[in-house]
């Protein structure tokens, strides 16, 4: 007679299911068989028993109205005690809004900025990968999956093309199966063209109101949202956070007045897109810096060209605040 499943075994099974679901949602390859084999070796059960347990998890998700993994058809023949424990584990997983480090802000606060960013990507007829989106907004795969669900359903309810069709797998350059199962979109390339046409014709921004916030991560997401180039979006976030959201010369923290400036000698095309490759500068100071009318010495001191001294003399000789 098979032994009862311990809490630890169920927790590991649900976590393995969660990881597979995340990979499937992002169109990344994975092997169910390898997962079953690894779990079977670890716990002394058969691979078939873990496969069936995964089908039980699918049944729980189906009962909760949630998406389940394709190829793991729900199997509802599970005892009440085990089912209740699986439900509790699934609900616990759904509450995980932070990354494993616990250092990022809840992804929901970043949704308006993410939507605005994707709109800019559409207006520039581009697309982005899952990894680029996570880097640009400092979120993990689990949070991205939920963010995509919310943003996709929001677009659908507004009668817009599905905005998440712009997010693709790095290798495939195509969307995951969720676009079909959730929204009935069978041709993701055609949906992207609809997005390009729609957002070229509509210049409005997000319908969501961005409320006042003191959260640096959320402000960084808003700072990122105006940059449609994925590499530059991630660079803006890194520089913004490294400089505490303030111009390193003037101390200005007005979001729309700031720019992420590459240091002289650094080139984004060569991959110089880390925090220490740039400064957060007020836009007018950025213009002076790019035109060599303002320079920054190796020890972080501001030097000004005489032609701009009359208007910017308060910054002459000032040390950067980083």
Query: For the chain, what are the domain ranges?
Result: 7-94, 107-201, 243-315
Q: Are 58 and 16 in contact (CB under 8 A)?
A: no
Confidence of residue 117 (pLDDT cuts 50, 70, 90): very high
Question: Where would I find the H helices in the chain?
Answer: 7-25, 32-43, 47-63, 80-94, 111-123, 130-137, 141-157, 178-183, 188-201, 216-224, 230-242, 283-290, 309-312
The DSSP secondary structure of 149-160, one letter per residue, reads: HHHHHHHHHTT-
Describe the chain by its helix, strand, coil percentages, rounded to 5. Answer: 55, 5, 40
φ, ψ of residue 279 to 5 degrees: the values are -125, 150
Residue 208 has pLDDT above 90, yes or no: no
Q: Which residues pair with 171 in a beta bridge?
A: none
pLDDT of residue 107: 84
The top-scoring range by mean pLDDT among 18-27, 188-197, 261-270 is: 188-197
Tokens 């659908």 appear where?
156
Displacement of CA 296 from its chain's centroid (Å): 33
pLDDT in tens, 57-111: 999 988 888 888 888 999 978 778 888 999 988 887 765 544 444 444 478 889 9
The larger pLDDT score, comparing residue 19 to residue 132, is at 132
pLDDT of residue 150: 86
Cα–Cα distances (Å) from 175 to 3, 148, 187, 243, 289, in that order, read 41, 11, 9, 35, 41
Would you say how long the chain is, in residues? 322
């Amino acid at each position: 007679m098979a032994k009862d499943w311990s809490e630890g075994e169920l927790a590991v099974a649900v976590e393995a299911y969660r990881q597979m679901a995340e990979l499937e949602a992002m169109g990344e390859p994975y092997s169910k068989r390898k997962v079953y084999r690894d779990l079977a070796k670890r716990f002394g059960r058969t691979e078939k028993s873990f496969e069936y347990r995964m089908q039980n998890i699918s049944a729980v998700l189906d009962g909760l109205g949630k998406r389940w993994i394709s190829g793991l058809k729900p199997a509802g023949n599970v005892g009440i005690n085990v089912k209740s424990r699986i439900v509790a584990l699934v609900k616990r997983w759904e509450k995980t809004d932070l990354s494993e480090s616990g250092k990022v802000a809840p992804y929901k606060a970043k949704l308006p900025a993410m939507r605005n960013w994707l709109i800019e990507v559409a207006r520039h007829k581009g697309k982005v990968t899952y990894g680029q989106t996570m880097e640009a907004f400092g979120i993990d795969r689990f949070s991205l999956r939920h963010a995509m669900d919310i943003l996709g359903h929001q677009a659908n309810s507004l009668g817009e093309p599905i905005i998440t069709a712009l997010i693709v797998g790095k290798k495939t350059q195509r969307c995951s199966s969720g676009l079909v199962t959730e929204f009935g979109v069978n041709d993701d390339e055609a949906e992207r063209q609809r997005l390009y046409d729609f957002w070229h014709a509509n210049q409005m921004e997000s319908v969501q109101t961005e409320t006042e916030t003191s959260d640096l991560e959320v402000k960084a997401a808003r700072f990122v949202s105006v940059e449609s180039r994925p590499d530059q979006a991630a660079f803006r976030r890194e520089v913004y956070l490294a400089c505490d959201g303030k111009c390193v010369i003037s101390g200005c923290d007005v979001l729309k007045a700031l720019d992420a400036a590459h240091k002289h000698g650094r080139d984004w095309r060569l991959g110089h897109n880390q925090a220490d490759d740039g400064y957060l500068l007020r836009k007018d100071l950025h213009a002076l810096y790019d035109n060599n009318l303002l320079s920054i010495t190796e020890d972080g001191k501001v030097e000004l060209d005489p032609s701009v001294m009359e208007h910017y003399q308060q910054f002459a000789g000032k040390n950067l605040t980083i």
